[in-house]
Structure 1
Protein backbone atom coordinates (compact mmCIF):
# COMPACT_ATOMS: atom_id res chain seq x y z
CA UNK A 1 0.00 0.00 0.00
CA UNK A 2 1.54 3.33 -1.09
CA UNK A 3 1.97 6.16 1.36
CA UNK A 4 -0.14 9.34 0.96
CA UNK A 5 1.55 11.79 -1.38
CA UNK A 6 2.29 15.33 -0.15
CA UNK A 7 0.82 18.35 -1.92
CA UNK A 8 3.35 19.34 -4.61
CA UNK A 9 4.47 22.96 -5.00
CA UNK A 10 2.51 25.27 -7.26
CA UNK A 11 3.68 25.99 -10.80
CA UNK A 12 5.20 29.34 -9.82
CA UNK A 13 7.06 27.68 -6.92
CA UNK A 14 8.81 25.01 -8.98
CA UNK A 15 12.52 25.61 -8.44
CA UNK A 16 11.76 28.10 -5.64
CA UNK A 17 14.57 26.88 -3.35
CA UNK A 18 17.22 27.64 -5.96
CA UNK A 19 15.56 30.91 -6.98
CA UNK A 20 15.40 32.16 -3.39
CA UNK A 21 19.02 31.22 -2.80
CA UNK A 22 20.23 33.10 -5.88
CA UNK A 23 17.86 36.10 -5.84
CA UNK A 24 16.81 36.95 -2.27
CA UNK A 25 18.80 38.89 0.34
CA UNK A 26 20.89 40.80 -2.21
CA UNK A 27 19.67 44.40 -1.79
CA UNK A 28 22.36 45.96 -3.99
CA UNK A 29 19.90 47.41 -6.53
CA UNK A 30 18.36 49.83 -4.03
CA UNK A 31 18.07 50.97 -0.44
CA UNK A 32 14.80 49.90 1.15
CA UNK A 33 12.91 49.89 4.41
CA UNK A 34 9.95 47.78 5.54
CA UNK A 35 7.85 48.20 8.66
CA UNK A 36 5.34 45.54 9.76
CA UNK A 37 2.81 46.05 12.54
CA UNK A 38 -0.36 44.29 13.63
CA UNK A 39 -3.55 45.32 15.43
CA UNK A 40 -6.01 42.54 16.21
CA UNK A 41 -6.80 40.86 12.85
CA UNK A 42 -5.34 43.66 10.70
CA UNK A 43 -1.70 43.60 9.59
CA UNK A 44 -0.06 46.78 8.26
CA UNK A 45 3.03 46.97 6.07
CA UNK A 46 4.83 50.11 4.93
CA UNK A 47 7.63 49.78 2.37
CA UNK A 48 9.86 52.28 0.63
CA UNK A 49 12.85 52.08 -1.71
CA UNK A 50 14.92 54.19 -4.08
CA UNK A 51 15.28 51.70 -6.93
CA UNK A 52 16.44 53.35 -10.13
CA UNK A 53 16.95 56.63 -8.31
CA UNK A 54 13.17 57.12 -8.01
CA UNK A 55 11.92 56.91 -4.41
CA UNK A 56 8.65 55.02 -4.08
CA UNK A 57 6.56 53.49 -1.35
CA UNK A 58 3.53 51.38 -0.50
CA UNK A 59 1.06 51.24 2.34
CA UNK A 60 -0.69 47.88 2.78
CA UNK A 61 -3.42 46.80 5.18
CA UNK A 62 -4.57 43.18 5.38
CA UNK A 63 -7.58 41.90 7.30
CA UNK A 64 -7.45 38.15 7.83
CA UNK A 65 -10.30 36.14 9.33
CA UNK A 66 -8.77 32.68 9.58
CA UNK A 67 -11.85 31.20 11.22
CA UNK A 68 -13.99 31.85 8.14
CA UNK A 69 -11.16 31.63 5.57
CA UNK A 70 -11.62 35.22 4.42
CA UNK A 71 -8.94 37.87 3.81
CA UNK A 72 -8.92 41.36 2.30
CA UNK A 73 -5.79 43.30 1.37
CA UNK A 74 -5.79 46.97 0.35
CA UNK A 75 -2.65 48.65 -0.98
CA UNK A 76 -1.93 52.24 -1.97
CA UNK A 77 1.31 53.25 -3.70
CA UNK A 78 3.02 56.59 -4.16
CA UNK A 79 2.43 56.12 -7.91
CA UNK A 80 -1.29 56.37 -7.08
CA UNK A 81 -2.09 52.73 -7.73
CA UNK A 82 -4.97 51.33 -5.69
CA UNK A 83 -4.70 47.56 -5.31
CA UNK A 84 -7.25 45.21 -3.77
CA UNK A 85 -7.08 41.50 -3.08
CA UNK A 86 -9.99 39.37 -1.85
CA UNK A 87 -9.38 35.76 -0.77
CA UNK A 88 -11.66 32.86 0.16
CA UNK A 89 -9.80 29.75 1.31
CA UNK A 90 -11.26 26.33 2.19
CA UNK A 91 -14.78 27.82 2.06
CA UNK A 92 -16.23 25.82 -0.83
CA UNK A 93 -14.12 22.70 -0.19
CA UNK A 94 -10.91 21.79 1.59
CA UNK A 95 -7.91 22.71 -0.52
CA UNK A 96 -9.68 25.39 -2.57
CA UNK A 97 -8.83 29.06 -2.78
CA UNK A 98 -10.54 31.81 -4.77
CA UNK A 99 -8.96 35.23 -5.28
CA UNK A 100 -9.91 38.51 -6.93
CA UNK A 101 -7.06 40.93 -7.60
CA UNK A 102 -7.85 44.43 -8.89
CA UNK A 103 -5.61 47.39 -9.71
CA UNK A 104 -6.83 50.92 -10.43
CA UNK A 105 -4.88 54.04 -11.34
CA UNK A 106 -7.46 56.87 -11.44
CA UNK A 107 -5.01 59.39 -12.90
CA UNK A 108 -4.48 57.41 -16.11
CA UNK A 109 -7.81 55.56 -16.06
CA UNK A 110 -6.03 52.21 -16.15
CA UNK A 111 -7.50 49.13 -14.50
CA UNK A 112 -7.03 45.41 -14.28
CA UNK A 113 -8.87 42.50 -12.70
CA UNK A 114 -7.60 38.97 -12.20
CA UNK A 115 -9.79 36.12 -10.95
CA UNK A 116 -7.82 33.13 -9.65
CA UNK A 117 -8.74 29.69 -8.34
CA UNK A 118 -6.52 27.08 -6.73
CA UNK A 119 -7.27 23.48 -5.84
CA UNK A 120 -4.64 21.32 -4.16
CA UNK A 121 -4.77 17.85 -2.73
CA UNK A 122 -2.43 14.95 -2.17
CA UNK A 123 -0.34 14.53 -5.32
CA UNK A 124 -1.56 17.53 -7.36
CA UNK A 125 -1.82 21.31 -7.34
CA UNK A 126 -4.03 23.03 -9.95
CA UNK A 127 -4.38 26.77 -10.55
CA UNK A 128 -6.28 28.94 -13.04
CA UNK A 129 -6.50 32.67 -13.68
CA UNK A 130 -8.74 34.86 -15.85
CA UNK A 131 -7.37 38.28 -16.78
CA UNK A 132 -10.66 40.10 -17.38
CA UNK A 133 -9.43 43.24 -19.16
CA UNK A 134 -6.33 41.93 -20.93
CA UNK A 135 -7.55 39.73 -23.74
CA UNK A 136 -9.44 38.45 -21.80
CA UNK A 137 -6.84 35.75 -21.23
CA UNK A 138 -7.39 32.46 -19.43
CA UNK A 139 -4.33 30.77 -17.91
CA UNK A 140 -4.22 27.34 -16.31
CA UNK A 141 -1.37 25.40 -14.76
CA UNK A 142 -1.01 22.12 -12.91
CA UNK A 143 1.70 20.25 -11.07
CA UNK A 144 1.55 16.53 -10.26
CA UNK A 145 3.90 14.80 -7.86
CA UNK A 146 4.67 11.29 -6.72
CA UNK A 147 7.56 10.01 -4.59
CA UNK A 148 9.45 13.27 -5.09
CA UNK A 149 9.09 13.37 -8.88
CA UNK A 150 7.27 16.41 -10.27
CA UNK A 151 5.78 17.22 -13.66
CA UNK A 152 3.87 20.37 -14.53
CA UNK A 153 2.59 22.54 -17.33
CA UNK A 154 1.07 25.93 -18.04
CA UNK A 155 -0.96 27.32 -20.96
CA UNK A 156 -2.59 30.69 -21.70
CA UNK A 157 -5.58 31.01 -23.99
CA UNK A 158 -6.54 34.32 -25.63
CA UNK A 159 -10.34 34.28 -25.56
CA UNK A 160 -10.74 37.09 -28.10
CA UNK A 161 -8.14 35.79 -30.53
CA UNK A 162 -9.20 32.18 -30.05
CA UNK A 163 -5.65 30.86 -29.80
CA UNK A 164 -3.17 29.54 -27.24
CA UNK A 165 -0.91 32.48 -26.59
CA UNK A 166 1.72 30.80 -24.40
CA UNK A 167 2.64 27.39 -23.08
CA UNK A 168 5.33 25.90 -20.89
CA UNK A 169 6.26 22.65 -19.13
CA UNK A 170 8.56 21.52 -16.33
CA UNK A 171 9.91 18.39 -14.69
CA UNK A 172 11.75 18.05 -11.41
CA UNK A 173 12.65 16.05 -8.38
CA UNK A 174 12.39 17.22 -4.76
CA UNK A 175 14.14 15.51 -1.85
CA UNK A 176 14.58 16.74 1.72
CA UNK A 177 18.14 17.93 1.04
CA UNK A 178 18.17 18.77 -2.67
CA UNK A 179 15.96 19.69 -5.62
CA UNK A 180 16.37 19.69 -9.40
CA UNK A 181 14.02 21.45 -11.83
CA UNK A 182 14.03 21.86 -15.62
CA UNK A 183 11.71 24.39 -17.31
CA UNK A 184 10.72 24.86 -20.93
CA UNK A 185 9.21 28.36 -21.12
CA UNK A 186 7.82 30.86 -23.66
CA UNK A 187 6.56 28.22 -26.10
CA UNK A 188 9.80 26.29 -25.58
CA UNK A 189 11.93 29.21 -26.75
CA UNK A 190 13.54 29.53 -23.31
CA UNK A 191 14.94 26.72 -21.17
CA UNK A 192 16.23 26.77 -17.63
CA UNK A 193 17.69 24.21 -15.24
CA UNK A 194 18.16 24.79 -11.53
CA UNK A 195 19.75 22.84 -8.70
CA UNK A 196 19.55 23.32 -4.93
CA UNK A 197 21.45 21.40 -2.26
CA UNK A 198 21.33 21.74 1.52
CA UNK A 199 24.85 20.52 2.20
CA UNK A 200 24.38 20.59 5.97
CA UNK A 201 22.26 22.61 8.44
CA UNK A 202 24.60 25.61 8.02
CA UNK A 203 25.44 25.55 4.29
CA UNK A 204 23.26 25.72 1.16
CA UNK A 205 24.37 25.76 -2.47
CA UNK A 206 22.61 26.22 -5.77
CA UNK A 207 23.03 26.87 -9.48
CA UNK A 208 20.94 27.93 -12.45
CA UNK A 209 21.47 27.79 -16.21
CA UNK A 210 19.24 29.63 -18.71
CA UNK A 211 19.19 29.42 -22.50
CA UNK A 212 16.99 31.93 -24.34
CA UNK A 213 16.84 31.53 -28.11
CA UNK A 214 15.65 35.16 -28.44
CA UNK A 215 18.35 36.69 -26.24
CA UNK A 216 20.64 39.14 -28.03
CA UNK A 217 23.73 37.99 -26.09
CA UNK A 218 23.34 34.33 -27.06
CA UNK A 219 24.81 31.37 -25.23
CA UNK A 220 23.84 30.03 -21.83
CA UNK A 221 23.57 32.28 -18.77
CA UNK A 222 25.07 30.57 -15.72
CA UNK A 223 24.85 31.50 -12.06
CA UNK A 224 26.10 29.67 -8.95
CA UNK A 225 25.74 30.67 -5.32
CA UNK A 226 26.00 29.59 -1.71
CA UNK A 227 24.62 30.56 1.70
CA UNK A 228 26.35 30.07 5.04
CA UNK A 229 24.83 30.60 8.48
CA UNK A 230 27.35 32.27 10.80
CA UNK A 231 25.06 31.83 13.81
CA UNK A 232 21.29 31.57 14.41
CA UNK A 233 20.87 35.32 13.78
CA UNK A 234 23.08 35.97 10.72
CA UNK A 235 24.12 34.52 7.39
CA UNK A 236 26.29 35.36 4.37
CA UNK A 237 25.40 34.74 0.72
CA UNK A 238 27.54 34.92 -2.39
CA UNK A 239 26.96 34.24 -6.08
CA UNK A 240 28.74 34.75 -9.38
CA UNK A 241 27.53 34.67 -12.99
CA UNK A 242 29.33 33.77 -16.19
CA UNK A 243 29.28 37.49 -17.10
CA UNK A 244 31.68 38.14 -14.23
CA UNK A 245 29.28 39.80 -11.79
CA UNK A 246 30.10 38.83 -8.21
CA UNK A 247 27.42 39.50 -5.57
CA UNK A 248 27.70 39.40 -1.80
CA UNK A 249 24.94 39.60 0.78
CA UNK A 250 24.98 39.78 4.56
CA UNK A 251 21.87 39.57 6.77
CA UNK A 252 21.85 40.14 10.51
CA UNK A 253 19.00 40.07 13.02
CA UNK A 254 20.01 42.96 15.29
CA UNK A 255 17.31 42.15 17.83
CA UNK A 256 13.87 40.50 17.78
CA UNK A 257 11.86 42.32 15.11
CA UNK A 258 14.81 44.18 13.56
CA UNK A 259 16.71 42.80 10.57
CA UNK A 260 19.25 44.46 8.27
CA UNK A 261 20.60 43.17 4.95
CA UNK A 262 23.60 44.59 3.08
CA UNK A 263 24.33 43.86 -0.57
CA UNK A 264 27.26 44.43 -2.92
CA UNK A 265 27.60 43.62 -6.63
CA UNK A 266 30.97 43.90 -8.36
CA UNK A 267 31.49 43.59 -12.12
CA UNK A 268 34.87 41.86 -12.14
CA UNK A 269 35.33 42.68 -15.83
CA UNK A 270 35.00 46.43 -15.17
CA UNK A 271 36.97 46.93 -11.97
CA UNK A 272 38.56 50.13 -13.27
CA UNK A 273 35.83 51.23 -15.69
CA UNK A 274 33.14 53.89 -15.29
CA UNK A 275 30.09 52.86 -17.29
CA UNK A 276 28.34 55.64 -19.30
CA UNK A 277 24.99 54.27 -18.10
CA UNK A 278 25.94 54.32 -14.43
CA UNK A 279 28.30 52.71 -11.93
CA UNK A 280 29.53 49.23 -12.83
CA UNK A 281 29.37 48.26 -9.15
CA UNK A 282 26.36 48.53 -6.85
CA UNK A 283 25.77 48.64 -3.13
CA UNK A 284 22.58 48.78 -1.09
CA UNK A 285 20.88 48.07 2.20
CA UNK A 286 17.52 46.82 3.44
CA UNK A 287 15.96 47.33 6.87
CA UNK A 288 12.96 45.32 8.12
CA UNK A 289 11.10 46.17 11.33
CA UNK A 290 8.42 43.83 12.67
CA UNK A 291 6.36 44.26 15.79
Structure 2
Protein backbone atom coordinates (compact mmCIF):
# COMPACT_ATOMS: atom_id res chain seq x y z
CA UNK A 1 0.00 0.00 0.00
CA UNK A 2 1.36 3.42 -0.94
CA UNK A 3 2.24 6.05 1.61
CA UNK A 4 -0.78 7.94 2.77
CA UNK A 5 -3.23 5.18 1.81
CA UNK A 6 -5.57 3.93 4.51
CA UNK A 7 -8.65 1.76 4.85
CA UNK A 8 -11.81 3.76 4.22
CA UNK A 9 -14.01 1.45 6.28
CA UNK A 10 -14.02 -1.66 8.44
CA UNK A 11 -17.24 -3.23 9.65
CA UNK A 12 -17.59 -6.28 11.92
CA UNK A 13 -20.87 -8.11 12.47
CA UNK A 14 -21.41 -10.86 15.07
CA UNK A 15 -24.66 -12.88 15.16
CA UNK A 16 -26.07 -15.29 17.74
CA UNK A 17 -24.58 -18.19 15.73
CA UNK A 18 -21.11 -16.69 16.12
CA UNK A 19 -20.82 -15.65 12.50
CA UNK A 20 -18.12 -13.02 12.04
CA UNK A 21 -18.36 -10.72 9.01
CA UNK A 22 -15.70 -8.24 8.02
CA UNK A 23 -15.30 -5.77 5.20
CA UNK A 24 -12.35 -3.60 4.27
CA UNK A 25 -11.76 -1.09 1.47
CA UNK A 26 -8.26 0.00 0.44
CA UNK A 27 -7.46 2.79 -2.01
CA UNK A 28 -4.16 2.06 -3.70
CA UNK A 29 -3.29 5.38 -5.36
CA UNK A 30 -3.51 9.04 -4.51
CA UNK A 31 -5.36 9.69 -7.79
CA UNK A 32 -8.17 7.32 -6.74
CA UNK A 33 -7.95 5.50 -10.09
CA UNK A 34 -7.56 2.05 -8.51
CA UNK A 35 -9.40 0.46 -5.61
CA UNK A 36 -9.13 -2.87 -3.83
CA UNK A 37 -11.87 -4.10 -1.49
CA UNK A 38 -12.19 -7.34 0.47
CA UNK A 39 -14.95 -8.91 2.52
CA UNK A 40 -15.36 -12.23 4.28
CA UNK A 41 -17.46 -14.42 6.53
CA UNK A 42 -16.16 -16.81 9.20
CA UNK A 43 -18.59 -19.33 10.71
CA UNK A 44 -17.13 -20.42 14.03
CA UNK A 45 -19.76 -23.14 14.57
CA UNK A 46 -18.83 -25.00 11.36
CA UNK A 47 -15.27 -23.80 10.84
CA UNK A 48 -16.09 -22.70 7.28
CA UNK A 49 -15.05 -19.37 5.80
CA UNK A 50 -15.70 -17.45 2.59
CA UNK A 51 -14.10 -14.39 1.10
CA UNK A 52 -14.40 -11.88 -1.73
CA UNK A 53 -11.87 -9.68 -3.50
CA UNK A 54 -12.83 -6.84 -5.84
CA UNK A 55 -10.56 -4.59 -7.87
CA UNK A 56 -11.53 -1.53 -9.89
CA UNK A 57 -9.31 0.41 -12.27
CA UNK A 58 -10.41 3.64 -13.96
CA UNK A 59 -8.90 5.22 -17.06
CA UNK A 60 -10.58 8.61 -16.73
CA UNK A 61 -9.19 10.13 -19.93
CA UNK A 62 -11.00 7.51 -22.01
CA UNK A 63 -14.03 6.94 -19.77
CA UNK A 64 -13.06 3.29 -19.22
CA UNK A 65 -13.54 1.25 -16.06
CA UNK A 66 -12.26 -2.29 -15.48
CA UNK A 67 -13.74 -4.25 -12.58
CA UNK A 68 -12.95 -7.75 -11.35
CA UNK A 69 -14.70 -9.61 -8.54
CA UNK A 70 -13.70 -13.06 -7.31
CA UNK A 71 -14.84 -15.60 -4.73
CA UNK A 72 -13.98 -19.25 -4.13
CA UNK A 73 -16.62 -20.37 -6.64
CA UNK A 74 -17.05 -17.64 -9.27
CA UNK A 75 -15.10 -14.93 -11.11
CA UNK A 76 -16.76 -11.78 -12.44
CA UNK A 77 -15.31 -9.21 -14.80
CA UNK A 78 -16.69 -6.01 -16.30
CA UNK A 79 -15.39 -3.58 -18.91
CA UNK A 80 -17.38 -0.36 -19.29
CA UNK A 81 -17.28 2.83 -21.36
CA UNK A 82 -19.21 5.82 -20.02
CA UNK A 83 -19.99 9.35 -21.26
CA UNK A 84 -17.68 9.13 -24.27
CA UNK A 85 -19.86 8.26 -27.26
CA UNK A 86 -22.66 10.41 -25.81
CA UNK A 87 -23.31 12.15 -22.50
CA UNK A 88 -25.23 9.78 -20.22
CA UNK A 89 -24.56 6.68 -22.35
CA UNK A 90 -22.85 3.68 -20.72
CA UNK A 91 -21.80 0.50 -22.52
CA UNK A 92 -20.39 -2.52 -20.73
CA UNK A 93 -19.46 -6.17 -21.19
CA UNK A 94 -19.85 -8.56 -18.24
CA UNK A 95 -18.03 -11.90 -18.10
CA UNK A 96 -18.82 -14.68 -15.61
CA UNK A 97 -16.53 -17.70 -15.14
CA UNK A 98 -17.13 -20.70 -12.87
CA UNK A 99 -13.66 -22.28 -12.34
CA UNK A 100 -14.99 -25.62 -11.02
CA UNK A 101 -17.00 -26.33 -14.18
CA UNK A 102 -15.22 -24.11 -16.70
CA UNK A 103 -18.57 -22.57 -17.67
CA UNK A 104 -18.33 -19.06 -19.10
CA UNK A 105 -21.07 -16.59 -19.96
CA UNK A 106 -21.10 -13.01 -21.21
CA UNK A 107 -23.63 -10.21 -21.27
CA UNK A 108 -23.75 -6.92 -23.18
CA UNK A 109 -25.29 -3.94 -21.40
CA UNK A 110 -26.33 -0.48 -22.53
CA UNK A 111 -27.96 2.31 -20.53
CA UNK A 112 -28.79 5.95 -21.10
CA UNK A 113 -29.63 8.60 -18.50
CA UNK A 114 -31.16 11.95 -19.34
CA UNK A 115 -32.52 14.37 -16.72
CA UNK A 116 -35.50 12.56 -15.15
CA UNK A 117 -35.53 9.57 -17.49
CA UNK A 118 -33.32 6.52 -17.88
CA UNK A 119 -33.53 3.45 -20.10
CA UNK A 120 -31.40 0.35 -20.52
CA UNK A 121 -31.05 -3.08 -22.08
CA UNK A 122 -29.04 -6.27 -21.42
CA UNK A 123 -28.43 -9.11 -23.87
CA UNK A 124 -27.07 -12.55 -22.96
CA UNK A 125 -24.47 -13.71 -25.47
CA UNK A 126 -25.73 -17.22 -26.19
CA UNK A 127 -25.83 -18.63 -29.74
CA UNK A 128 -28.43 -21.23 -28.74
CA UNK A 129 -30.87 -18.46 -27.85
CA UNK A 130 -30.31 -15.15 -26.08
CA UNK A 131 -32.53 -13.41 -23.57
CA UNK A 132 -33.07 -9.68 -24.07
CA UNK A 133 -33.79 -7.56 -21.00
CA UNK A 134 -35.13 -4.01 -21.08
CA UNK A 135 -36.04 -1.46 -18.44
CA UNK A 136 -37.07 2.18 -18.09
CA UNK A 137 -37.48 4.58 -15.15
CA UNK A 138 -39.23 7.96 -15.04
CA UNK A 139 -38.81 10.40 -12.13
CA UNK A 140 -40.92 13.51 -11.61
CA UNK A 141 -41.20 15.63 -8.43
CA UNK A 142 -40.68 12.72 -6.05
CA UNK A 143 -42.71 10.22 -8.05
CA UNK A 144 -41.01 7.24 -9.67
CA UNK A 145 -42.36 4.79 -12.24
CA UNK A 146 -40.36 1.84 -13.52
CA UNK A 147 -40.95 -1.16 -15.75
CA UNK A 148 -38.82 -4.15 -16.67
CA UNK A 149 -39.35 -6.82 -19.30
CA UNK A 150 -37.42 -9.73 -20.77
CA UNK A 151 -37.86 -11.62 -24.04
CA UNK A 152 -36.66 -15.18 -24.65
CA UNK A 153 -35.54 -15.35 -28.28
CA UNK A 154 -35.32 -19.16 -28.23
CA UNK A 155 -38.99 -19.52 -27.26
CA UNK A 156 -40.10 -16.25 -28.90
CA UNK A 157 -42.11 -15.15 -25.89
CA UNK A 158 -42.10 -12.58 -23.11
CA UNK A 159 -40.62 -14.20 -20.00
CA UNK A 160 -40.87 -11.30 -17.53
CA UNK A 161 -43.15 -8.30 -17.16
CA UNK A 162 -42.71 -6.18 -14.04
CA UNK A 163 -44.07 -2.76 -13.08
CA UNK A 164 -43.38 -0.58 -10.03
CA UNK A 165 -44.56 2.95 -9.08
CA UNK A 166 -43.37 4.79 -5.99
CA UNK A 167 -43.06 8.08 -4.16
CA UNK A 168 -40.09 9.40 -2.19
CA UNK A 169 -39.80 12.38 0.17
CA UNK A 170 -37.23 13.40 2.77
CA UNK A 171 -38.78 11.31 5.58
CA UNK A 172 -41.33 9.18 3.74
CA UNK A 173 -41.23 6.53 1.00
CA UNK A 174 -43.98 4.49 -0.67
CA UNK A 175 -43.37 1.66 -3.11
CA UNK A 176 -45.67 -0.77 -4.96
CA UNK A 177 -44.63 -3.54 -7.35
CA UNK A 178 -46.36 -6.04 -9.63
CA UNK A 179 -44.48 -9.07 -10.99
CA UNK A 180 -45.85 -10.88 -14.05
CA UNK A 181 -49.37 -9.87 -13.05
CA UNK A 182 -49.45 -12.54 -10.31
CA UNK A 183 -47.25 -11.27 -7.48
CA UNK A 184 -48.08 -8.02 -5.71
CA UNK A 185 -46.28 -6.15 -2.97
CA UNK A 186 -45.78 -2.80 -1.33
CA UNK A 187 -43.72 -1.08 1.33
CA UNK A 188 -43.94 2.10 3.40
CA UNK A 189 -41.03 3.85 5.14
CA UNK A 190 -41.44 6.65 7.68
CA UNK A 191 -38.84 8.56 9.70
CA UNK A 192 -39.79 10.67 12.72
CA UNK A 193 -36.92 12.32 14.57
CA UNK A 194 -34.55 9.47 15.54
CA UNK A 195 -36.98 6.63 14.78
CA UNK A 196 -37.15 4.87 11.39
CA UNK A 197 -39.90 2.33 10.62
CA UNK A 198 -40.48 0.35 7.38
CA UNK A 199 -43.44 -1.97 6.71
CA UNK A 200 -43.75 -4.37 3.77
CA UNK A 201 -46.59 -6.54 2.50
CA UNK A 202 -46.67 -9.11 -0.33
CA UNK A 203 -49.08 -11.69 -1.71
CA UNK A 204 -49.55 -13.96 -4.73
CA UNK A 205 -52.70 -14.17 -6.83
CA UNK A 206 -54.59 -17.42 -6.28
CA UNK A 207 -52.93 -18.03 -2.92
CA UNK A 208 -53.96 -17.23 0.64
CA UNK A 209 -50.33 -16.88 1.70
CA UNK A 210 -49.73 -13.23 2.64
CA UNK A 211 -46.29 -12.09 3.75
CA UNK A 212 -45.97 -9.23 6.21
CA UNK A 213 -42.99 -7.65 7.95
CA UNK A 214 -42.25 -4.65 10.13
CA UNK A 215 -38.98 -3.21 11.42
CA UNK A 216 -37.81 -0.27 13.52
CA UNK A 217 -34.52 1.49 14.15
CA UNK A 218 -33.79 3.95 16.94
CA UNK A 219 -30.69 6.11 17.05
CA UNK A 220 -29.57 6.54 20.66
CA UNK A 221 -26.72 8.91 19.83
CA UNK A 222 -24.24 9.63 17.06
CA UNK A 223 -22.48 6.29 17.72
CA UNK A 224 -25.16 3.82 18.81
CA UNK A 225 -28.37 2.55 17.24
CA UNK A 226 -30.85 -0.22 18.13
CA UNK A 227 -32.97 -2.17 15.64
CA UNK A 228 -35.74 -4.77 15.70
CA UNK A 229 -37.81 -6.62 13.13
CA UNK A 230 -40.66 -9.17 13.01
CA UNK A 231 -42.77 -10.92 10.38
CA UNK A 232 -45.91 -13.02 10.13
CA UNK A 233 -43.79 -16.22 10.35
CA UNK A 234 -43.17 -15.34 14.03
CA UNK A 235 -39.52 -14.52 13.40
CA UNK A 236 -38.17 -11.72 15.61
CA UNK A 237 -34.76 -10.11 15.27
CA UNK A 238 -32.90 -7.71 17.56
CA UNK A 239 -29.72 -5.84 16.78
CA UNK A 240 -27.34 -3.16 17.99
CA UNK A 241 -24.71 -1.20 16.06
CA UNK A 242 -21.86 0.68 17.73
CA UNK A 243 -19.39 2.97 15.96
CA UNK A 244 -16.09 2.26 17.71
CA UNK A 245 -14.23 4.95 15.79
CA UNK A 246 -14.51 6.62 12.38
CA UNK A 247 -14.63 3.84 9.79
CA UNK A 248 -15.01 0.99 12.32
CA UNK A 249 -18.43 -0.44 13.33
CA UNK A 250 -19.45 -3.38 15.53
CA UNK A 251 -22.88 -4.97 14.99
CA UNK A 252 -24.52 -7.52 17.31
CA UNK A 253 -27.59 -9.29 15.95
CA UNK A 254 -29.85 -12.12 17.12
CA UNK A 255 -32.79 -13.75 15.31
TM range (shorter): 0.7 to 0.9
* Equivalent in the alignment of 1:206: 198
From the two aligned structures, give the one with the greater strand fraction: 2
Structure 1 stretch displaced more, 188-197 or 52-61: 52-61
Q: CA deviation at 1:66?
A: 4.2
* Equivalent in the alignment of 2:87: 94
Contact 2:14–2:21 (CA under 8 A) maintained in structure 1: no
* Equivalent in the alignment of 1:285: none
* Equivalent in the alignment of 2:249: 259
Is it true that 1:228 corresponds to 2:218 in the alignment?
yes
* Equivalent in the alignment of 2:8: none
From the two aligned structures, give the one with the greater helix fraction: 1
Any residues of structure 2 matched to 1:176-255 within 5 Å, and which?
A: 176-185=170-179, 187-200=180-193, 202-213=194-205, 218-255=208-245
Structure 1 stretch displaced more, 152-161 or 256-265: 256-265
Contact 1:174–1:180 (CA under 8 A) maintained in structure 2: yes
Any residues of structure 2 matched to 1:42-81 within 5 Å, and which?
A: 42-50=34-42, 53=46, 54-79=48-73, 81=74
- CA deviation profile, 1:133-156 (whole Å, cap 9, x unmatched): 384111101111222222221110
**Counterpart secondary structure, 1:231:** coil
Contact 2:51–2:72 (CA under 8 A) maintained in structure 1: yes
**Change over 3 Å in CA distance of 1:26–1:145 after alignment to 2:** farther
User: How far apart, CA to CA, are the structure 2 residues paired with 1:235 and 1:180?
Assistant: 24
Which of residues 162, 187, 195 in structure 2 aligns to 1:168? Answer: 162
Q: CA deviation at 1:67?
A: 5.0
User: How far apart, CA to CA, are the structure 2 residues paired with 1:65 and 1:28?
Assistant: 44
Which of residues 148, 152, 157 in structure 1 aligns to 2:142? Answer: 148
Contact 1:26–1:249 (CA under 8 A) maintained in structure 2: no
Aligned-CA RMSD value = 2.3
Is it true that 1:126 corresponds to 2:119 in the alignment?
yes
**Change over 3 Å in CA distance of 1:27–1:183 after alignment to 2:** farther
Q: CA deviation at 1:213?
A: 3.9
Contact 1:97–1:118 (CA under 8 A) maintained in structure 2: yes
**Change over 3 Å in CA distance of 1:35–1:223 after alignment to 2:** same
Contact 1:26–1:247 (CA under 8 A) maintained in structure 2: no
With normalisation by structure 1, the TM-score equals: 0.74
- CA deviation profile, 1:54-90 (whole Å, cap 9, x unmatched): 42211211112445432111122122x2211122222
Q: Which runs of 5+ in 2 are unaligned?
A: 1-12
